[in-house]
Amino acid sequence: MSDITTSKPWRRLETLAAASRKFRTIDLFDADPDRAGAFSIEAAALYLDWSKNKISREAMSALVDLARAAGLEAAIARMVSGEKINTTENRAVLHVALRDFSGRSYVVDGVDVAPQIAAERRKMRDFADKYERGGLIGFSGAPIDTIVNIGIGGSDLGPLMAVEALRPYWLGGRRAFFVSNVDGQHLGDTLEALDPSRTLFIVASKTFTTQETMTNAESARAWFLGKGGKERDIARHFIALSTNERAVRAFGVAPENMFVFWDFVGGRYSLWSAIGLSIALQCGYAVFEAMLRGACAMDEHFRAAPLEANMPAILALVGVWNRNFMGAAAHAVLPYDQHLHRLPAFLQQLDMESNGKSATLSGARAPCATGPVLFGEPGTNGQHAFYQLIHQGTDLISADFIAAAKSATPLGDHHEKLLANFLAQPEALMLGKDEAQVRAALAAEGVSADAAGRLAPHKVFPGDRPTNAILFERLTPGALGALVALYEHKVFAQGAIWGVNSFDQWGVELGKTLAMKILPEIAPLGQAKPPPEGHDGSTRRLIERINAWRASKEGWL
């Protein structure tokens, strides 16, 4: 693809962005009584309102032209056709196939993979049904009722986020834990609460070589064997989710206890595959499938809807406008839903690992800013923490506000209060409060003109801070699936516009390699180590300091 910044729509957007300095977002509402209707859309049971962004109708249509100029429609077709669009890894990208129940074929290397996907889903269903019935029996003869998913990154964040989001659907008497960090405290703290005879360890790793996961899996096995489990019991207490059968076997998991997925499923897009088994176990298979079907509804919309009425494409274009034309460096995801408390962490990986790139597909340097910094916390917590910067900081931050109209656990007027905040913050961010309003408010409180003059600059809100609202009736499995698919496709569409490969992650490699080199240089506790060689001066000195402290066996309390 040629440099998108030299395209006609990009130039037009620059002109429109410059012109937008002369008006305020609220002026767009005053001039266009139907703006809220025109800048909102419903699909797959989700409702998106993007009218509080400083985007005119002309800019919106130029953005759609930009998507067309970047070949977004063709890119969508290439992805769903099984083409190897992940060119740096020579892989197809077919997470949509994992949640397609229509009977469509998905051909990779001349083979229709749809039957394999359906077969693996059946295997997951049978296993989850057995777990739900209490049919998985541990070594003491009691049913297994606790699962521990051991995985990291894409093999952790998706299932963890979904299990938390679907808390109202948890099966009674079942518990799910997630261990990811190589910090032994994560595994150690988790194991404290567990009965080995009732615990199933799920080792989730696409490659089955990831340092953190293999270390945690080995330690979990040692713990299990040290707590009464025998070697022969491993088979019923350890299962694997992976693409690497040989490594799974070598670890000691029998092939019948392995759930597979494939190279065309990227790690951060894998919660729909066997990697989602923990969701099916904790909530029941029907809930897992309902989540897949919700995602599928969004996929069908994304494939079929014209770009001007295509929710993921619109969300992507609004993001491009804010990032490339309004100068937003960061994007906040703010779910007003406690059960979505891990959604920002999940989206952080999805977005930043996918589009945090400086090279385009052709290898040239990206001619424009690509993925923003993404962060977030559930509302209303964030309001008492970092919203200050979003309201009054020197950087422009765009934000998505997400909420359900109804709570799964209605309690007094909690949800009404939550929703009032969900609505108030975007309104405040858009409208702001100018100096005249601040002075008038202070005067009404009886503050002298002098004092008001000193205070006013601190109390002014610039406004025009762009936000999207994403609404649904209730956080059902289907709504969750649609929401996650919405973001997946948004990220893909943005990657297509910026011309980057959203499906590789070479940027995670260098640190991993260096860590392997440093590992033998860390002194075992209570032992001395000679000073390390090589490294930069800072790293060398840090290793020496760590090793000096580790040489002493003194207790740490």
Q: Which is nearer to ligand G6Q, 183 or 395 (CB)?
A: 183
Indicate whether 146 belongs to the interface with ligand G6Q (CB under 6 A). Answer: no
Indicate whether 199 belongs to the interface with ligand G6Q (CB under 6 A). Answer: no
Residue 1: both structure tokens together: 């693809």
Q: Which is nearer to ligand G6Q, 213 or 494 (CB)?
A: 213
Residue of this chain nearest to ligand G6Q (CB atom):
153
Catalytic residue among 384, 406, 414, 417: 384
Annotated active-site residue 384? The verdict is: yes
Indicate whether 371 belongs to the interface with ligand G6Q (CB under 6 A). Answer: no
Indicate whether 342 belongs to the interface with ligand G6Q (CB under 6 A). Answer: no
- Contact stretch for ligand G6Q (CB under 6 A) within 39-47, 128-136, 201-209, 360-368: 201-209
Annotated active-site residue 512? The verdict is: yes
Indicate whether 205 belongs to the interface with ligand G6Q (CB under 6 A). Answer: yes
State how far the Cα of 553 lies from the Cα of 557, in Å rounded to an integer: 12
H/E stretch holding 421 reads helix 414-431
Instruction: Walk across the sheet containing 199-204 and list its strands.
Output: 175-179, 146-150, 199-204, 238-242, 258-260
Restricting to residues 501-520, which ones interact with ligand G6Q according to CB under 6 A? 505
Fill in the DSSP letter of residue 143.
B
Q: Which amino acid is located at 359 in the chain? A: A
- Contact stretch for ligand G6Q (CB under 6 A) within 60-68, 261-269, 307-315, 489-497: 261-269
Q: Which is nearer to ligand G6Q, 43 or 271 (CB)?
A: 271
H/E stretch holding 375 reads strand 373-375
Q: How long, in residues, is the chain?
A: 557
Indicate whether 253 belongs to the interface with ligand G6Q (CB under 6 A). Answer: no
Indicate whether 158 belongs to the interface with ligand G6Q (CB under 6 A). Answer: no
Residue 230: both structure tokens together: 């025998």
Indicate whether 207 belongs to the interface with ligand G6Q (CB under 6 A). Answer: yes
Q: Which is nearer to ligand G6Q, 164 or 353 (CB)?
A: 353
State how far the Cα of 469 lies from the Cα of 401, in Å rounded to an integer: 5
Q: Which is nearer to ligand G6Q, 351 or 353 (CB)?
A: 353
Residue 113: closest CA among 90, 95, 86: 95
For the chain, the farthest-separated pair of C-alpha atoms sits apart, in whole angstroms, at 82
Residue 395 — φ and ψ, nearest 5°? -100, 150
- Contact stretch for ligand G6Q (CB under 6 A) within 113-121, 204-212, 359-367, 406-414: 204-212
State how far the Cα of 313 lies from the Cα of 48, in Å rounded to an integer: 12
Helices (H), 52-147: 57-69, 72-80, 95-98, 114-132
Residue 141 φ/ψ region, left for φ over 0, alpha for ψ in the -120 to 50 degree band, beta for the rest: left
Exactly one of 266, 319, 371, 478 binds ligand G6Q (CB under 6 A); that residue is 266
Exactly one of 267, 319, 379, 382 binds ligand G6Q (CB under 6 A); that residue is 267
Antiparallel, parallel or unpaired: β 175-179 and 107-108: unpaired
Q: Which is nearer to ligand G6Q, 501 or 505 (CB)?
A: 505
**Which whole-number Å values give the CA distances from 253 to 37, 217, 232, 513, in the listed order?**
55, 11, 11, 28
Indicate whether 152 belongs to the interface with ligand G6Q (CB under 6 A). Answer: yes
Smallest separation, CB 243 to ligand G6Q (Å): 8
Catalytic residue among 353, 377, 488, 521: 353
Annotated active-site residue 123? The verdict is: no
Residue 396 — φ and ψ, nearest 5°? -85, 125
Residues assigned a catalytic role? 353, 384, 512
Q: Which residues bind ligand G6Q (CB under 6 A)?
A: 152-155, 205-207, 210, 213, 266-268, 353, 505
